[in-house]
Amino acid sequence: MSNEKSVATDPMRYRRQVILPDWDEETQELLTKATVFVAGVGGLGCGAALNLTVAGIGTLKICDMDVVDVTNLNRQFLHKEKNVGDLKTDSGYEELSAINSGIDIIRYNQEINEETVDEMVGDADIVIDCFDNFPGRYTLNKCAIRKGIPMVHAGIWGMEGRLTFLQSPETPCLSCLFPSAPPRAELPVLGAVACSTGAMQAIEAIKYLTGRGKNLKNRMIIMDMSTMRFQELHIKKNPNCPLCSKL
């Protein structure tokens, strides 16, 4: 057995999270059996995917159709200088597999649209919205509603991150919160803001999958990292939402 293989299966690997309050070996087993779909391996997606990988999620699906650009390197830490021009799913897969060879990582380097999304998400237990565009986010939102699975939504702009846990009909859906897409613009962002917000998405997913803690249902946190003032907003369903008001 190679050293990598023995480390991958070493029961001590997850020791420090198994001793968390309310956790035990069975809690870890819940993660091992889980499938998470991470939409986008950009600024948010690198933080989310890395933290799900080290936590020992059984199956991680990563989706992105972009190639690595030099302007990505200030925040998208799974992609290295040598990867500029490579598919993000390939460089992401390479790095995540090296970090934890004991989990299954499935890559999709194709566009998410109405024709592709259901098959790609498949039987995932939860989806993580790490997209940087609203058409993709809306498609993912509709898929999550159809499948009855939650979606962890996050966004970043400049020094600000925002985060919420959507599980319609219990909570608003993305279209309740954003009935129309904001205009696209070049995103100003500090890498640490993207990374930490993506890590928080992973925390929300891990809490849901293990039944531990309390998810950000009907709440959104707005994190102004320029002052480290965090605000919690109570968010509501749109009674006229075309997607979820009838659920």
Residues that bind Zn ion (CB under 5 A): 173, 175-176, 241, 243-244
- Smaller CB separation from Zn ion, 62 or 241: 241
Minimum Å gap between C-beta 117 and Zn ion is: 17
- Smaller CB separation from Zn ion, 140 or 173: 173
Q: The tokens of 44 are what?
A: 């948010």
Minimum Å gap between C-beta 173 and Zn ion is: 3
- Smaller CB separation from Zn ion, 122 or 135: 135
* Secondary structure (3-state) at 59: strand
Amino acid at 117: V
* Secondary structure (3-state) at 50: helix
Minimum Å gap between C-beta 127 and Zn ion is: 15
Minimum Å gap between C-beta 63 and Zn ion is: 23
Minimum Å gap between C-beta 40 and Zn ion is: 21
Kind of pairing, strands 126-129 and 104-108? unpaired
What are the residues whose beta carbons fall under 8 Å from the beta carbon of 78, sequence distance 6 or more? 41, 46, 49, 50, 88, 91, 92, 95, 96
Q: How far apart are CA 76 and CA 86, in angstroms?
A: 13
Kind of pairing, strands 160-166 and 151-157? antiparallel
Minimum Å gap between C-beta 243 and Zn ion is: 5
* Secondary structure (3-state) at 108: strand
Q: Are 197 and 230 in contact (CB under 8 A)?
A: no
In three-state form (DSSP H/G/I as H, E/B as E, the rest C), the secondary structure along 177-228 is HCCCCCCCCCCCECHHHHHHHHHHHHHHHHHHHHCCCCCCECEEEEEECCCC
- Smaller CB separation from Zn ion, 179 or 213: 179
- Smaller CB separation from Zn ion, 21 or 239: 239
- Smaller CB separation from Zn ion, 222 or 243: 243
